[in-house]
Structure 1
Amino acid sequence: MTDNEEKNWGRLIKYHRQQQGLRQDDVALGICTPSYLSRIENGVVVAEQTVYEMLLERLGIDLENEVANLELKHSTLETMYVKLLSNETLTQNELARLESYQTKVFQQEVDLLAGLVYSRYLSSIDALTEARELLMKIEPFITWHQDRVTQIYIATTTNLHLSFLEFEEIILREEQQHVSNYMNTANRFEQANYLYHLAFAHHRYYSFQQALYYINRAAEAFSHHYKPLFQLKLYSMKGVILNDLHRFQEALLEFEAGLDLLRNVSAIQTPRQWSSLYNNLAYCYECQGLFKEAMSYYERANSFEEDLHIVINWMRATYQQGDEETLNKLFTHYPRERFNVLHHQYQRDLLKYASDRDNTLNKLKDIEELVFPYFSEQEYYSLTLYYAPLWAAFYEELHAYKRASICFKHAFIASEKVRQRMSSQKRRQGES
């Protein structure tokens, strides 16, 4: 046994002694002093294995059976964790076993692992508040060593931060604590997963160069593995990052590699994967001003899995192409009440007002004062950078130059926010 495992036996002895209502004097008699037993129970010392065996025997616990049961639990939890990490669904039997492992008292490492794996499961079914509450109970027991509990805690909390859109929390923790160092002894797929999540967080935080750095590290860590779905995520994420760096041809190469993989691996050919990849391709063409091609890919993306985010993108590209007939069909087929995400509703409003071209000053002002502060509050800088200049142009047509200047100011502030984030990342890289 390792020192860490033997410290777990100390906690196990304490738990069973208390459950049986025994004093330390009763259990220690003839084996060791009560004070030494106290130090064993609290993990202050690591005793000889025979001492643990005698103490456990006095409590009616067979050490050999305990070791076998713990090894089985560890193995089962690792299997479940790998499935969850790979976006696979647990069977009913696996879920029942995982739930049976849950405890309110974290006596051993395996109890913490069971809680962490269950938290990851809760995240996978969008029970995010429950997942966070469980992680908060586990947090005081994290030792911050290169052990499995610490590694899975890092991965699970990172995944949860992403679910809550807490990108800055992930970035700051890595910068301040360098938690990726704790992952060095994890398997390379787990390392790649964490680096992928760092890349994702940096991308959503508009620090694109740093995002590219981490996605390249993730791809390097993942090399020689065969997990097609994760490989597809790497291609897509790198393509998205390159696109936002305006390296469009390189981005298209990543998306084409993803399409090639998707065409040849039937196991990952789900509507969601096709839809996501075609949406990324469409946005890449839209960013290049190739709106007809963008419309075509948005339509294909939506045909695989109707997604109202894709519909909004499709409307925007159609407006830019000037295809009024298609745009009106989309407005008719997708009325405002079909959208339940606020920024989708606002974008539809903006595009509908823009396409009608019968806007009065009051209409323009009403939507401007409603939408642009919300975009700023939610840090949707790319949306502000597209729609604010458009609104400014409408004001200028009505000779409302003061209102137009306010819209240009919205765009300038958004541009500065993005610039500051990108330059702060460069500065931090230089300091490191």
Structure 2
Amino acid sequence: MQNIGRIIKSERIKQNMKQKVLAEDICSTSYLSKIENGNKSPSPEVLNDLIARLQINLNYFSQENEEQIMANLYENYKSIVLTRNEQAAKDKVNHYMNFEIRFDEPKNFYYYNLYLFRLFLVSKQPLDEIEHFLTAFYAMEENLDNRQSFIYNVNANIYHFRKSNYIKALSYLESSINLLPSIQLEDWERADYYYILALNYYSLNQNLNALNYAKKSSAIYESLGYFARSVDCKTLIAATYIQNGHYASAEQILEDTSLFCHQHQLQQFESLLSQNMGFIFALQGHAKKAITFYKKSYNAKTEPLSILITIHSIIKEYSKLNQEDYVRKWCEKGLDLIKENELTDTTTTYLYHFEIFKMKHQLIPFEEKLIANAIDHFQRINDIKNVQKYAILLGNLLYEHHEYKKAASYFQRSTEAMYQLKYINKWEDLT
């Protein structure tokens, strides 16, 4: 079996086992290293002992035609990346995890795991269940060719982006820019890369780069007929204009995108476009107009977690208007939605939002610990904007209660969060 060394290495890394541990009482570590790198074929006795320790069942490995499996996997990979269909990704992950392949071609071994890595990411699996892919490829990175390295960097970027580690995520993409001239990418792959790059630049407030790559991606997707993906790019362009304070340009983009969606029968984007339009008016201080668009978005949504986003947006606008009755009403809507759909374990963020807004408007008694716990929660999930927001609120509330020392500590924490948002460490670097 030509690929047995790679199978052993991959399984060992997945199990977080050191070479020394696997080789103990079976062979030397250097001998195992040669087996894993394909420089030595193990004797039958050594092979049996290694697979027994790793608990590998070689009958579990698929006997199907290797090239046919790879062709099918690539088509599934392409389709799922382009549709971003989480359920389809989960189904295919389950399918491919039910067997392994005895790869005869080393390149197929790497591509197989790279494609599977991306499917795991699209399926929104918990990151701790995906980490073994990152660990394994980090160990094997020197064996990858340029195209494989490119795909690995994209996957690693998405992984770290989901952890809100935007600077580290971007470093993987930028290292791939130098690979582009040396590899052949299909147009859809290039569009996918440009969109992910634009999203990273947007998250780091690098708006010119974000606009440049979002426009490039949109043009490619539109020329290929992937109109839904083009809408994603157009929405990101609007968000970038919003971030820059160019509200009129953002509004025009969203209006044009709405017409584009109508032309191509993409009704699924109605709620997203209304949400973004509401955000534009919210930032300009037009709370009533913002609420109108947010309610339009709310009425178009069916997915509970997405509905919670809009409920939170509506609450913020009623809070600005000091309309306590509506703040109470929409907070209760959000809390009821969480209970009805048994979402408590996955919506800690919104539980905090709704309870804190009720507290802010004195609909429930002031509870310092609740807001402090919320700040710690947002720090853990690296949501620094909400760390700053609620640290300021708690500082103000403590000040009103004459708890001046505690108030000062939270104002300091809000300042530290502001530094983190600006990606600076020193006062001198403030501009």
TM-score (norm 2): 0.69
CA distance in 2, matches of 1:225, 1:320: 44
Asked if 1:366 is matched to 2:366, the reply is: no
Q: Identify unmatched segments of 5+ residues in structure 2.
A: 7-33, 40-64
Instruction: Determine the structure 1 residue equivalent to 2:59.
Output: none
In 2, distance between residues paired with 1:197 and 1:391?
A: 36
Cα separation, 1, equivalents of 2:405 and 2:94 = 64
Q: Residue 102 of structure 1 corresponds to which residue in structure 2?
A: 100
Aligned residues with identical type, % of pairs: 14
C-alpha distance in 2 between matches for 1:414 and 1:83: 40
Q: Is residue 2:177 matched to residue 1:180? A: yes
Deviations 1:289-348 (A, max 9, x none): 111111122222222224212211211111112333322221333338646323322221
Aligned residues, how many?
359
**Counterpart of 2:358 in 1: which secondary structure?**
helix
Looking at structure 1, the residues matched to 185 and 378 of structure 2 have their Cα atoms a distance apart, in angstroms, of 39
1:111 aligns with 2:109: yes
Aligned match of 2:287: 291
Q: Note the 1:381-400 alignment, pairs <5 A.
A: 381-395=384-398, 397=400
- For residue 267 of structure 2, the aligned residue among 247, 266, 269 is 269
Q: Give runs of aligned pairs for residues 271-350 of structure 1, distance below 5 A.
A: 273-305=269-301, 306=304, 307-335=307-335, 338=339, 340=344, 341-350=347-356
Contact 2:2 2:104 in 1 (8 A): no
CA contact (8 A) 1:243 1:284 kept: yes
Local SS of the residue matching 2:224: coil
Q: Are residue 201 (structure 1) and residue 200 (structure 2) matched? A: yes
How many angstroms does 1:82 deviate by? 1.2
Match of 1:412 in 2: 415
Distance 1:302 1:201 in 2: 27
Residues 156 and 104 of structure 1: CA distance in aligned 2, closer, same or farther (over 3 Å): farther
Q: Distance in 2 between matches of 1:224 and 1:199?
A: 19
Per-residue deviation, 1:107: 4.3
List per-residue Cα deviations over 1:210-262 (Å, max 9, x = no partner): 53454344345546232111101101112222212222222222222332222
* Aligned equivalent of 2:252: 253
Match of 2:46 in 1: none
Q: Which runs of 5+ in 1 are unaligned?
A: 1-9, 16-37, 44-68, 427-432
Residue of structure 2 in register with 1:75 after alignment: 71
In the alignment, what sits opposite 2:158? 159
The amino acid of 2:246's aligned partner reads R
Partner of 1:58: none
Aligned: 1:351 with 2:357: yes
Between 291-300 and 165-174, report the one with greater CA deviation.
165-174
Task: Give me the whole-angstrom Cα distance separating, in 1, the residues matched to 2:391 and 2:4.
Answer: 66
For 1:118 and 1:126, how far apart are their aligned partners in 2?
13
The corresponding residue for 1:31 is none
Residue identity matched to 1:348: F
Picking from 114, 120, 123, the partner of 1:122 is 120
| Contact map agreement 1:102 1:115 (CA 8 A) in 2 | no
C-alpha separation in 1, matches of 2:5 and 2:405: 74
After superposition, the C-alpha distances for 1:183-208 in whole angstroms (9 at most, x for unaligned) are 44312321221222223234334554
Residues 126 and 396 from structure 1, CA distance in 2 versus in 1: closer, same or farther, beyond 3 angstroms? closer
Cα distance 1:342–1:183, how it changes in 2: closer, same or farther (>3 A)?
farther
SS of the residue 2:420 aligns to:
helix
Q: Work out whether residues 183 and 191 of structure 1, in 8 Å CA contact, stay in contact via their aligned partners in 2.
A: no
Three-state SS of the structure 2 residue aligned to 1:186 is coil
Query: Greater CA deviation, 365-374 or 222-231?
Result: 365-374
Q: Any conservation in 2 of the 1:77–1:113 contact (CA below 8 Å)?
A: no
Report the counterpart of residue 230 of structure 2 in structure 1: 231
Q: State which structure, 1 or 2, has the greater radius of gyration over its C-alpha atoms.
A: 1
Q: How high is the TM-score relative to the length of structure 1?
A: 0.69
State the one-letter code of the partner of 1:304. Answer: A
2:240 alignment partner in structure 1: 241
AA aligned opposite 1:145? D
- Per-residue displacement from partner, 1:362-390 (whole Å, max 9, x unpaired)? x3643443333444454433334544445
Partner letter of residue 74 of structure 2? E
3-state SS of paired residue (2:146)? coil
Alpha-carbon spacing, 1:397–1:80, altered in 2? closer, same or farther (3 Å): same
Residues 406-432 of structure 1 show CA distances to partners (whole Å, capped at 9, x for unaligned) of 444344333333334699xx9xxxxxx
Farther-moved stretch of structure 1 (131-140 vs 97-106):
97-106
User: Structure 1, residues 141-198: CA drift from partner, whole Å, max 9, x if none?
Assistant: 4444333x333333333333334444333122334xx213334431232122122222
Aligned to 1:146: 146
Q: Does the 8 Å CA contact 1:275/1:304 hold for their aligned counterparts?
A: yes
